[in-house]
Amino acid sequence: MIKVGILGSGFISDSYADSLLDVRSAVLTANYSRDIERARAFAERWASPAAYDSMEALAASPDVDVVVIALPNEVHLEAVRIVAAAGKGVICTKPLARTAAEAAEILDIVTAAGVWHGYAESSVFSPNIQKAYEMVEAGGIGELLTMRAREAHSGPHAPHFWDAETAGGGALLDMGCHTVESARHFFGKDNPVTEVFAWGATMVHTDKTTGEDNAVALVKFAGGQLATIESSWVEKGGMQLRHELVGTAGRLVTDTSVTPVWGFIEKPVGYLVEKSDAETGWVYPVPEETRAYGFSQQMRHFIDHFAAGTAPSETFEDGLIVNTILDACYRSMRTGTWESVDYPS
C-alpha cells in the first residue's frame, strides 16, 4: 500500500481524502493543519491514524510515502521544499504557484531532490472531459479548431483566495488554471500557446478582493487553434463547468454542472453541491461530486504512476507552463494588447 499524507484540513483536503477511498493501492496515513484541533477533526473524519501541526514532522514520518499539498497558494513553495527535503513524492494542488518564477523555483526543488511529482489538475481527469477527449482523438469532430471553456461560481470557499496580493491573482488564477490546462490537453502539449489576450475586472466583490472577479482570455496555439477561457466569481446558483469544442466535422459540449437530479424543495436537506448558494427552491445537486470532478480518477492515476516509478500525465512542468501562460494573461490585462508567452528554458 502507498501511504499518503495530506497537508491541509479544508474543502480541497476533504476532496483528496474522499478520492483516496477509490484507490485500492493507497491509504491515508497522516494529515496536517497548523491548527492541531482542525487536524484532529480531519483525522477523525477520514480515519487518519496521525494528525500533525508540523509539516516537517509529517514529511519525515516513515508512515508517509507521498505527500499531497492542499494548502493556500502562498504556502506551496515552502511545503514543496519541506517534502522534497524529506525525499518524499509530492502532489500539489492547482495552481502550482502564484507566478511562473515561483513555479520554476518549485520545479527546480523537486528536480534537484530527484523526487517524484504530480500536478493535481483535476479537470482533465473528469469523466466528461475524458470522454470528449477520446472522441476528439478518434476523429469524431474532425480537426479541432476552437474551444470555449467556462468555470464560474459565486466565489471561493477559502478566505485566502480573496487576498489577491497574497494568493497571486483573482478568478483567472483560481479557475483559469483549470481551463488553460484543458485547452493544452485537447490541442496537444506539443502544440504550445504562443500568445494571449486577456481582460479582467473587479465588478461585484469590490469589498472583498483587489483581484479580478471576472476574466476572459483568448489563448492562441502555434497550430492556429484558439481557446476562449472564461472565469467568474459572481455567478450564483452553483458551479458552471462547461466546455464547447468545435471541429471541422462536428462539435462536442461537456457540462459537469448538469445533473440528473434536480427539483424544487422547501425544506433544507443538507449539502447539495459545491457553492450552491441556496438550500431551498430550485436545486441541482451533483451526485458523487468527487468523482464527477475527476478527483478520484486523478488520484488513481497518480498513485499508479508513483508505485511504478513513472511520470504521471500532469507534472510540475505542466504547472509551470500553466503559470507562464497565466502570467502572460495578466500582462495583457495591464497592457490591453496581445502578449507573447515567454517560456523559461
d(CA 188, CA 3): 33
Sign of torsion over alpha carbons 8, 9, 11, 13: positive
Secondary structure of residue 149 in the 3-state scheme = strand
Residue 151 reports pLDDT greater than 90: yes
Domains detected in the chain: 2-122 (3.40.50.720), 124-295+324-340 (3.30.360.10)
The pTM (predicted TM-score) of the whole model is 0.95
What mean pLDDT comes out for the span 49-65? 98
- Between helices 127-137 and 177-187, what is the axis angle to 10°? 30
Q: 18-31, pLDDT tens digit by residue?
A: 999 999 999 999 99
Is the pLDDT reported for residue 210 higher than 90? no
- The residues facing 26 across adjacent strands are 2
How far apart CA 321 and CA 244 sit, in angstroms, is 23
pLDDT score of 261: 87
Mean pLDDT in residue range 106-135:
97
Q: Percentage of the chain surpassing pLDDT 70?
A: 100
Residue 53's pLDDT is what? 97
| Residue 131 clears pLDDT 80, i.e. is over it | yes
Between CA 182 and CA 9, with CA 293 as vertex, the angle to 5 degrees is 110
Check residue 144 and give its pLDDT. 98
Question: pLDDT at position 51, please?
Answer: 98
Strand-pairing partners, residue 228, are 148, 218
| % residues pLDDT > 90 (the chain) | 82
Q: How far is Cα 147 from Cα 247, in angstroms, rounded to an integer?
A: 9
* Strand ranges in the chain using DSSP code E only, listed in sequence order: 2-7, 26-32, 50-52, 66-69, 89-93, 117-120, 144-152, 193-201, 214-221, 226-232, 240-247, 250-255, 263-265, 281-283, 339-340
